[in-house]
Structure 1
Amino acid sequence: MSEETIYSNLKQLGGDTVLPTNPEEAELERVENPQAGVRYAVRFTAPEFTSLCPMTGQPDFAHLVIDYIPNKFLVESKSLKLYLGSFRNHGAFHEDCTVSIGRRLEEFLDPIWLRIGGYWYPRGGIPIDVFYQTGEAPKDVWIPDQGVPTYRGRG
């Protein structure tokens, strides 16, 4: 007899999965926040994010930092990893990738607060950093600096 938990409906964790071919196909999963009512920050760092330039098809690389203050839900990390990986063969400008990820997480999780920093490595000699935030950061939660310096030969 199995017991129902907040993890019971997860489909990707603990099993074989295939990297989705595009972000629209990728399925994010969430669980109930077992600490709902407690304000705290969660950070995901993806230092090897890749997508494709929609014009040239050449790869673009970024260091993403996603911070959020959960409300009722937490994003399941394997589903987030697969979602981010689905951009590997997806053509979009840096701004579109970064903001799309932030907006999808915002719509999916309905967090108290969310921000994403997309620190893109240079192509053509110009690095592009893109930032999206849902509003002013709450004053009662410690939210550290994202810790990624402005471009000076990042790496």
Structure 2
Amino acid sequence: MSQTDVSGLSQLGAKVDLPQSPDQAVLERVPSGNRGADFLVRFTAPEFTSLCPMTGQPDFAHIVIDYVPDEWLVESKSLKLFLHSFRNHGAFHEDCTIDIANRLVTLLSPRWLRIGAYWYPRGGIPIDVFWQTGKPPEGLWLPDQGVPTYRGRG
């Protein structure tokens, strides 16, 4: 059984303050012990928040990140801190979603990545944003993200 090398991590196991912005957040990675295997890693952030850049009011989303690693895995505590750093960040839904995806792709160079951001209504209209790097590897088991479109209370 392989063991993950965590020697280069600065946040795991340490008290770390919440970054004040996504630009200040440190995303960390660890080597994948399963290189060559096509497997899917999923992170779900059902309580993601950011700020409307125009009004400063909070925006809420359910974000699902799926990726197929190559050499690297994202370290989950650093990802959590990165996602939480958006709480004080003013940006449109589309910008937040694509910024998250781009940071992960730059950090990991995954074989494949997709992000589904299911935003709650702003001004009465929900905005869902989807992005992926290309086609998933052939034969990959790719479950549905499991987030229904917004239907209101009824």
Q: Amino acid of the residue matched to residue 21 of structure 2? A: N
Q: What's the CA shift string for 1:49-97, capped at 9, x where partnerless?
A: 0000000000000000000000000000000000000000000000000
Aligned equivalent of 2:86: 87
Shift of 1:112: 0.1
Extract unaligned runs of 5+ from structure 1: none
Extract unaligned runs of 5+ from structure 2: none
1:40 corresponds to 2:25? no
1:27 corresponds to 2:23? no
- TM-score under structure 2 normalisation? 0.95
CA distance in 2, matches of 1:140, 1:42: 15
Aligned equivalent of 2:69: 70
Give runs of ≥4 in structure 1 deviating > 2 Å.
none
Secondary structure at the counterpart of residue 79 of structure 2: helix
CA distance in 2, matches of 1:83, 1:153: 29
Q: Amino acid of the residue matched to residue 107 of structure 1? A: T
1:10 corresponds to 2:12? no
Aligned equivalent of 2:145: 146
Q: Amino acid of the residue matched to residue 96 of structure 2? A: C
Q: Amino acid of the residue matched to residue 141 of structure 2? A: W
Aligned equivalent of 1:49: 48
CA distance in 2, matches of 1:39, 1:74: 13
Q: In the comparison of the two structures, how many residue pairs are matched?
A: 150
Aligned equivalent of 1:125: 124
CA distance in 2, matches of 1:82, 1:122: 25
CA distance in 2, matches of 1:14, 1:70: 23
Shift of 1:137: 1.6
- TM-score under structure 1 normalisation? 0.94
Secondary structure at the counterpart of residue 14 of structure 1: coil
Shift of 1:140: 1.6
Give the root-mean-square deviation of aligned CA atoms.
1.0
CA distance in 2, matches of 1:139, 1:131: 20
Percent identity of equivalent pairs: 69
